[in-house]
């Protein structure tokens, strides 16, 4: 088959074709749930799945490149094909996506000599190597080779960042050099000169917007007089940042804008169809004068919620789509009021090899109703200090090293030095705390420095002993000029103006959590009491008879990280808007399960709960 760009339409084997796509980021969804989410996209009436490729997830350290497990992009694309759908792939190299560093590996910029998103030899050489690593996955899965890929996007909203045509030409040629033959696209907001600045005549321009469809398409047509109109990011919701309200978009308003878009003959990629979760420490951040880390949930108020269930938006969009294209019948479980759960053969995520097919029938019986919420008591408790031998690998430095210099992409780094301050003093960080530091003397917490508040100074009590700063990277900036910046205690640390030297530093092994630390927690005797004083790790066990998706409620806890059966669910924070952490069903098991919580500050309770529904609490505006 052949996919091409015609004078007014996309052409599939020479016939006009409308792209009805939905975004699912494979790296935000447990791989055993990919098939379920893809099938539900088809049931809404979509014919295409779009995904970014997160370079830094595949290459977390220099010289590494993984395509296994949750990073098996080939398997994801094969599941798309098996469902009879096409694929749009956006390898970047920059993706934004509210993902750490916009998808760019931290190590790329560690020595300060490599350019960011520009025609610079070091950056382009790294991009070439990245694309060559992707070639065996992407090239044989193009539509003209029997695969699902019909479009590939070059860069991402570049017109909002720069206008270097030589950079875009170099990227385009690299994509061609690895063997990609399908049409190439660019995407920018139809505002100002972004469409022109972010593209080339050889790249088909598409727009990104979520409202005022007629106006946005008119601006897109002005920038590109011929060819199919496409909104390749139709924003049907928005992401959440910690401390802000939960963003929602009325289903009726989004459906009306989608109707306008399709009525104009446009093609669409719904961003997001299913948002998923920023598991581990993968969330990004924004900094437009004030640093704002992005929440763990990437629900996005999408047609399919974080647990993969249809929302009102799913049904509203499906009603619009069926005016313009055939839609398959909905199983009872996917209809309004249904469970949203497809049959076991889909939800179990059986593996699919390249080129294999999967039955696409929809008459699948829903699984039995799940059991009730399960309360869990965290009855094995250890202060962080007691587990440090299992979580650390110390190195010594004249001044505090950055995360980047330590090879830490994200998470936590503990900085330690010995001080003699009989009268105390004022500790200051020279330039900036990136992003949050819990300050302790001799194991006693004396305060917190937060980047969001532009904190750089804190008063220390008299101390002759150990000064520690536990620094958390709360998310690397994913948009704008601060992409690629280092993390840690930037500019050194001083007390009363005198620099502190002779530091020891270590990243904490938390994602995945060090097995030795889990073993120590498992071997602890159970303890009484209700409160927790951090930094502390606490563990508890619970039993299940079924393994559906759940939510971990941490009511009473303040800030930290949680794991279930060793899988890092991500960060929690009492400031909201998110109150519960998504727990994918495949992480759970029938019988005994384990939950671990790393609480930085304190909790009024040792009880958590495995819920069947999220605790929305104060998530709404």
What CATH class does 374-382+512-611 carry?
A: mainly beta
Alpha-carbon gap, residue 346 to 358, rounded angstroms: 9
Output the six-digit token pair for 158: 């570049």
CATH 2.60.120.260 location in the chain: 374-382+512-611, 392-508
Alpha-carbon gap, residue 549 to 309, rounded angstroms: 10
How far is CA 494 from each of CA 251, 416, 500, 591, rounded to the nearest angstrom? Answer: 53, 13, 5, 52
The 3-state DSSP composition of the chain as helix, strand, coil percent (nearest 5) reads: 25, 30, 45
Select which of 50, 83, 98, 157 is catalytic.
Answer: 157
Output the six-digit token pair for 573: 């924070």
Alpha-carbon gap, residue 548 to 562, rounded angstroms: 19
Place of tokens 């919580």: 597
Alpha-carbon gap, residue 9 to 291, rounded angstroms: 42
Among residues 79, 71, 136, which one has the least CA distance to residue 353? 79
pLDDT for the residue 621: 32
Burial level of 519, CB count in 10 A (0-12/13-18/19+)? exposed
pLDDT for the residue 614: 86
Ranges of the chain whose pLDDT falls below 70: 344-371, 616-621
Q: Does domain 392-508 have CATH number 3.40.630.40?
A: no
Q: Do residues 71 and 59 lie in contact, with contact meaning Cβ atoms separated by under 8 Å?
A: no
User: Which residues neighbour 508 within 8 Å (Cβ) at sequence distance 6 or greater?
Assistant: 391, 392, 411, 412, 413, 414
233 is catalytic: yes
> pLDDT tens across 65-79, in order?
999 999 999 999 999
Select which of 50, 155, 233, 548 is catalytic.
Answer: 233
pLDDT for the residue 397: 98
Q: How far apart are the first and last CA of the chain?
A: 48
User: Which residues neighbour 268 within 8 Å (Cβ) at sequence distance 6 or greater?
Assistant: 19, 20, 21, 230, 231, 232, 234, 258, 261, 262
pLDDT for the residue 359: 37
Q: Does domain 3-334 have CATH number 3.20.20.80?
A: yes
pLDDT for the residue 365: 43
Residue 504 CA neighbour count, 13 Å, CB half = 11
- DSSP H or E run through 387: helix 384-391
Strand order in the sheet with 425-429: 457-460, 425-429, 493-495, 498-499
Among residues 70, 130, 84, 448, which one has the least CA distance to residue 276? 70
Output the six-digit token pair for 603: 């909790």
The residue count for the chain: 621
Among residues 345, 343, 347, 383, which one has the least CA distance to residue 365? 343
- DSSP H or E run through 79: helix 73-82
How far is CA 478 from each of CA 56, 190, 221, 241, rounded to the nearest angstrom? Answer: 12, 21, 29, 13
CATH 3.20.20.80 location in the chain: 3-334
> 554: how many CB neighbours lie within 10 A of its CB?
24
> pLDDT tens across 430-474, in order?
999 999 999 999 999 999 999 999 999 999 999 999 999 999 999
């Amino acid at each position: 088959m052949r996919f091409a760009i015609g004078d007014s339409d996309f052409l599939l084997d020479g016939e006009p074709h409308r792209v009805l796509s939905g975004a699912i980021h494979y790296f935000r969804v447990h791989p055993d749930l990919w098939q379920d989410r893809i099938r539900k996209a088809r049931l809404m009436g979509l014919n295409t799945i779009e995904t970014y490729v997160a370079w830094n997830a595949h290459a977390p350290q220099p010289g590494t490149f993984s395509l296994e497990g949750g990073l098996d992009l080939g398997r994801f694309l094969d599941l798309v094909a098996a469902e009879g759908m096409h694929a749009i792939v956006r390898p970047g190299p920059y993706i934004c996506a509210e993902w750490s560093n916009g998808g760019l590996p931290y190590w790329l910029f560690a020595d300060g000599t490599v350019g960011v998103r520009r025609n610079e030899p070091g950056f382009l050489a790294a991009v070439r190597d990245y694309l060559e690593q992707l070639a065996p996955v992407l090239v044989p899965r193009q539509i003209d080779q029997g695969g699902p890929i019909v479009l590939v996007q070059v860069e991402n909203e570049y017109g909002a960042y720069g206008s270097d045509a030589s950079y875009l030409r170099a990227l385009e040629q690299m994509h061609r050099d690895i063997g990609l033959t399908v049409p190439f696209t660019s995407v920018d907001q139809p505002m100002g000169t972004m469409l022109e600045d972010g593209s080339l005549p050889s790249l088909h321009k598409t727009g990104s917007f979520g409202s005022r469809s007629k106006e946005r398409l008119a601006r897109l047509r002005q920038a590109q007089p011929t060819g199919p109109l496409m909104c390749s990011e139709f924003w049907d919701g928005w992401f959440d940042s910690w401390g802000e309200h939960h963003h929602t978009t009325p289903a009726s308003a989004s459906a009306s804008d989608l109707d306008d878009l399709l009525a104009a003959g446009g093609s669409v990629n719904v961003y997001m169809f299913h948002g998923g979760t920023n598991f581990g420490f993968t969330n990004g951040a924004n900094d437009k004068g004030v640093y704002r880390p992005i929440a763990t949930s990437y629900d996005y108020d999408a047609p399919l919620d974080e647990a993969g269930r249809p929302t009102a938006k799913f049904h509203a969009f499906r009603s619009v789509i069926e005016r313009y294209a055939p839609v398959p019948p909905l199983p009872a479980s996917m209809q309004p009021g249904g469970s949203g759960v497809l049959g076991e053969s889909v939800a179990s995520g059986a593996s699919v090899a390249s080129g294999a097919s999967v039955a696409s029938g929809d008459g699948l019986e829903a699984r039995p109703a799940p059991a009730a919420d399960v309360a869990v008591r965290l009855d094995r408790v250890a202060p962080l200090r007691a587990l440090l031998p299992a979580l650390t690998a110390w190195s010594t430095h004249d001044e505090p090293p950055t995360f980047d210099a330590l090879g830490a992409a994200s998470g936590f780094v503990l900085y330690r030095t010995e001080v003699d301050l009989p009268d105390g003093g004022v500790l200051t960080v020279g330039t900036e705390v990136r992003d949050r530091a819990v300050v302790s003397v001799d194991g006693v917490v004396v305060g917190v420095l937060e980047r969001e508040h532009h904190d750089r100074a804190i008063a220390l009590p008299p101390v002759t002993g150990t000064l520690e700063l536990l620094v958390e990277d709360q998310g690397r900036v994913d948009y704008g000029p601060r992409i690629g910046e280092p993390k840690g205690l930037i500019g050194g640390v001083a007390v009363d103006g005198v620099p502190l030297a002779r530091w020891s530093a270590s990243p904490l092994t938390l994602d995945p959590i060090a097995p030795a630390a889990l073993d120590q927690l498992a071997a602890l005797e159970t303890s009484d009491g209700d409160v927790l004083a951090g930094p502390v790790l606490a563990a508890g066990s619970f039993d299940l008879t079924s393994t559906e998706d759940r939510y971990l409620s941490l009511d009473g806890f303040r800030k930290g990280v949680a794991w279930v059966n060793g899988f890092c669910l991500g960060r929690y924070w009492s400031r909201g808007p998110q109150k519960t952490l998504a727990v994918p069903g495949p992480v759970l098991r029938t019988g005994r399960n384990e939950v671990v919580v790393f609480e930085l500050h304190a909790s009024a309770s040792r009880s958590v709960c495995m819920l069947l529904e999220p605790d929305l609490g104060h998530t709404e505006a």
